């Protein structure tokens, strides 16, 4: 795979404009000592660069870029358009957002621009163009960073008018829209496009996560995502008019709900994202989000932000333990990152992020634990050089992740309020993570034929083409795993009539008559055909077999003895249907059967609690061996006698891995 950068970018967000000039030289001295080789600059400098409507000031930014260029830094140059200057709100109040409750905002915060404001679009596009004209030819500008962490929604009159245009383009006729949204319900039929109102608290919205008409609200999610994407494309194109080659990105946020990242990735040269797990986030969830970011384009990504130690905005902002930042950084690289970047390089003196961790703490010295750990990692990355850049993550399993399903599943009224999309996907991902089985996170329109097994939990919304694609995949020998709340609705959230799971019914060889919802304190039991028993919760499908065979039956409730988990042969392939939320051991038993029948192999044959991940490039396999368990573990036998290229040490049968220890082993492909 082609390399985007010449070296591993190691640095992060740098805001010298917040500090007097005498601090800048000290920063450079410390960065040099820490092995920092890149800086993300100009993220929130719009007010400094453009102090009034027709006035631009680039002198300070010129100095910053000249200083970093002189030091041979890779510069990630942001466009500053994520927070608007006060003068714009004062003169053009329509640039501000209107929130879900109908309040029109004033100047303040960030992500504060209406994406459909022509005024915002004009000034943002002009600023991006001026920056590209001035700095696009600088060889040290390695990447353009448009805006910052796009997010939120707007419900203003500009958006309402733009939404009507978007809908007219999609549905063509008002009759088609009425049918798609099922507006005959409650007598909400509309007869003209200007009768359509936004689904907020003043209309169809019950609250931010609930709605009376899911079809309308899902379309508004799509429209909002498209609106912000159009802003990104506008700035990207403005940059391209002066700089035709430098990669352009914007930093995404993992499983963030509001934006369809698979659609966004098609417009980005490289995916970048900000990783901020909480103190209790499972490592499997961290890994899943990395794999999702890699999966957006099927190529390596940039880690644009992580904290060197401590965050400030979560409820409990624990320090990273000694070694944790290093281990977490290598886990990121193991799952596809070609950069390690921090927020922030120097800790701010004031405002809401003053307690967010940084390479240089408020003490302003290199004599800190965090600085020493950053320096150690910097030395190791320098030694690695470009060996891993562009390396791939081969996988035999694809897990389907789809934002339309994310939105629709969580808008649905019933059957259980605790049904959450990301949690359902993560339950399956966790199995593969703990078995060291590589996974690709894939979109609904992926090429399924690349995988021995495709996992598609809660495939609630079956859009056009999905039924045929899945049937072709299984018919040609693929193994599909799906389950409860799958095949229920079409792209407008209208039920596929004829019995659940709708378009998946023939494929799965079952008919689901009813869906029981279990409260948190309730559970059911089941028994596999080999006598093993398990526990299930949340939802229970009441299943009739139509060609499939049961591999586990319920043993409690009025539907005891009916199937809970089924297996169906379809063409040359197999479909497993999991009709309930299995507890971990029971789900593991099902997936063990799946992996055996699909002939899916882990990275190494040995069982270990260590995370073992492999990236490949040319004829080299790089094995990342990471201990994220909190206990000391032995080295797998397969790695004895191998060199840890991070330290130069040879791994022996006596080698143990303490918590957060890492090794990297390189071998020829077999």
- For the beta sheet containing 662-668, the strands, ordered from the edge strand earlier in sequence to the opposite edge, are 611-617, 620-626, 662-668
SS3 state at 403? helix
Q: What angle do CA 159, 89, 60 make, to 5 degrees?
A: 120
- How many angstroms separate the CA atoms of 125 and 105, rounded? 22
Q: Residue 87 is inside which H or E element, if any?
A: helix 86-91
Q: Binding site annotation covers 313? A: yes
Query: Which residue numbers are catalytic?
Result: 149, 305
Task: Report the Cα 352 to chain-centroid distance in Å.
Answer: 25
Residue 598's closest CA among 576, 624, 565? 576
Helix, strand, coil % over all residues of the chain, rounded to 5: 35, 20, 45
Phi, psi of 343 (to 5 degrees): -115, 110
Outline where 416-509 has alpha helix (H). 421-434, 466-475, 505-508
Beta bridge partners of 248: 144
Q: Binding site annotation covers 154? A: yes
SS3 state at 273? strand
Both tokens assigned to 204:
């169809």
Residue 77's closest CA among 205, 235, 299, 190? 235
DSSP string covering 298-316, please? TS-EEEEE--SS--SSSSS
Q: Binding site annotation covers 536? A: no
DSSP string covering 101-139, please? TSPBP-S-SSS-B-TT-HHHHHHHHHHHHHHHHHHTT-T
Residue 435's closest CA among 603, 616, 615? 603
Q: Binding site annotation covers 159? A: yes
DSSP string covering 132-198, please? HHHHTT-TTEEEEE-SSS------SHHHHHHHHHHHHHHHSSHHHHHHHHTTTGGG---SSGGG---
Residue 303's closest CA among 9, 615, 653, 2? 9
Contacts of 564 (CB under 8 A, 6+ apart): 526, 536, 540, 541, 543, 550, 552, 553, 554, 578, 579, 580
- How many angstroms separate the CA atoms of 429 and 423, rounded? 10
Taking the CA atoms of 488, 491, 492 and 496 in sequence, report the sign of the dihedral they define: negative
Residue 398 near residue 440, CB atoms below 8 Å: yes
* Radius of gyration of the CA atoms of the chain, in A: 26
- State the residue for tokens 């909400």: 188
Contacts of 519 (CB under 8 A, 6+ apart): none
- How many angstroms separate the CA atoms of 311 and 279, rounded? 10
* E strands present in 243-325: 248-249, 251-252, 272-274, 301-305
Residue 95's closest CA among 63, 122, 67, 126? 122
SS3 state at 98? strand
SS3 state at 399? strand
Phi, psi of 662 (to 5 degrees): -135, 145
CB atoms within 10 A of CB 596: 9
Phi, psi of 520 (to 5 degrees): -55, -35
Beta bridge partners of 668: 620
Q: Annotated binding residues for substrate, as ranges?
A: 110, 148, 313
Q: Annotated binding residues, as ranges?
A: 110, 114, 148, 154, 156, 159, 313
Q: Annotated binding residues for Zn(2+), as ranges?
A: 114, 154, 156, 159
């Amino acid at each position: 795979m082609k390399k985007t950068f010449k070296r591993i970018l190691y640095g992060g967000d740098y805001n010298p404009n917040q500090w007097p000039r005498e601090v800048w030289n000290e920063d450079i001295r410390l960065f040099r000592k820490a092995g920092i080789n890149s800086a993300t600059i100009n993220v929130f400098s719009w007010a400094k660069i453009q102090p009034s409507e027709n006035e631009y000031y680039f002198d300070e930014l010129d100095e910053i870029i000249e200083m970093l260029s002189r030091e041979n830094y890779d510069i990630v140059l942001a466009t500053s358009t994520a927070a608007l200057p006060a003068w714009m709100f004062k003169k053009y109040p329509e640039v501000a957002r209107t929130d879900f409750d109908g309040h029109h905002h004033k100047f303040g915060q960030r992500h504060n621009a209406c994406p459909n404001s022509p005024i915002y679009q004009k000034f943002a596009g002009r600023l991006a163009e001026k920056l590209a004209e001035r700095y696009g030819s600088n060889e040290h500008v390695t990447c353009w960073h448009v805006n910052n962490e796009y997010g939120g929604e707007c419900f203003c009159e500009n958006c309402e008018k733009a939404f009507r245009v978007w809908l007219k383009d999609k549905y063509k006729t008002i009759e088609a829209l009425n049918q798609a949204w099922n507006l005959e319900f409650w007598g909400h039929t509309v007869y003209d496009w200007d009768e359509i109102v936004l689904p907020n608290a003043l209309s169809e919205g019950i609250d931010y996560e609930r709605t009376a008409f899911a079809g309308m609200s899902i379309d508004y999610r799509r429209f909002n995502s498209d609106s912000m994407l159009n802003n990104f494309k506008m700035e990207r194109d403005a940059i391209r008019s002066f700089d035709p080659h430098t990669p352009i990105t914007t930093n995404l946020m993992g499983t963030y709900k509001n934006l369809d990242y698979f659609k966004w990735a098609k417009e980005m040269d490289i995916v970048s994202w900000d990783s901020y797990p909480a103190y209790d986030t499972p490592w499997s969830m961290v890994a899943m989000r990395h794999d999702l970011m890699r999966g957006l384009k099927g190529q390596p990504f940039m880690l644009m932000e992580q904290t060197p130690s401590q965050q400030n905005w979560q409820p409990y902002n624990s320090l990273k333990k000694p070694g944790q930042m290093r281990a977490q950084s290598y886990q990121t690289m193991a799952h596809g990152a070609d950069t390690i970047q921090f927020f922030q390089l120097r800790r701010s003196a004031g405002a809401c992020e003053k307690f967010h961790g940084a390479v240089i703490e408020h003490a302003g010295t290199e004599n800190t634990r965090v600085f020493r750990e950053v320096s150690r990692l910097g030395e190791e990355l320098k030694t690695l050089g470009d060996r891993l850049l562009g390396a791939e993550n081969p996988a035999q399993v694809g897990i389907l992740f789809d934002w339309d399903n994310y939105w629709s599943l969580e808008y649905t009224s019933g059957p259980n309020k605790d049904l959450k999309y990301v949690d359902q996907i993560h339950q399956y991902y966790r199995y593969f993570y703990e078995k060291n089985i590589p996974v690709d996170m894939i979109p609904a329109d992926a090429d399924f034929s690349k995988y021995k097994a495709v996992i598609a939990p809660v495939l609630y919304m079956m859009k056009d083409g999905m039924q045929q694609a899945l049937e072709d995949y299984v018919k040609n020998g693929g193994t599909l795993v799906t389950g409860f709340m799958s095949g229920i609705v079409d792209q407008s959230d209208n039920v596929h009539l004829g019995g659940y799971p709708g378009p998946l019914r023939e494929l799965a060889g079952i008919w689901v008559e009813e869906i029981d919802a279990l409260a948190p304190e309730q559970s059911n039991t089941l028994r596999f055909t080999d006598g093993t028993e398990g526990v299930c919760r949340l939802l229970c499908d009441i299943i009739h077999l139509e060609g499939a065979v049961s591999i586990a039956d319920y043993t409690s409730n009025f539907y005891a003895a009916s199937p809970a988990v089924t297996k169906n042969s379809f063409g040359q392939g197999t479909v497993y249907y999991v009709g309930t939320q299995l507890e971990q051991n029971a789900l593991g038993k099902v997936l063990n059967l799946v992996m055996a029948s699909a002939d899916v192999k882990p990275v190494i044959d040995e069982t270990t609690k260590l995370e073992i991940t492999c990236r490949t490039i040319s004829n080299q396999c790089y094995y990342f061996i990471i201990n994220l368990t909190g206990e000391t573990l032995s080295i797998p036998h397969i790695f004895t006698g191998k060199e840890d290229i991070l330290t130069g040490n040879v791994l022996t049968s006596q080698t143990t891995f303490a918590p957060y220890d890492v090794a990297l082993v390189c071998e020829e492909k077999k």
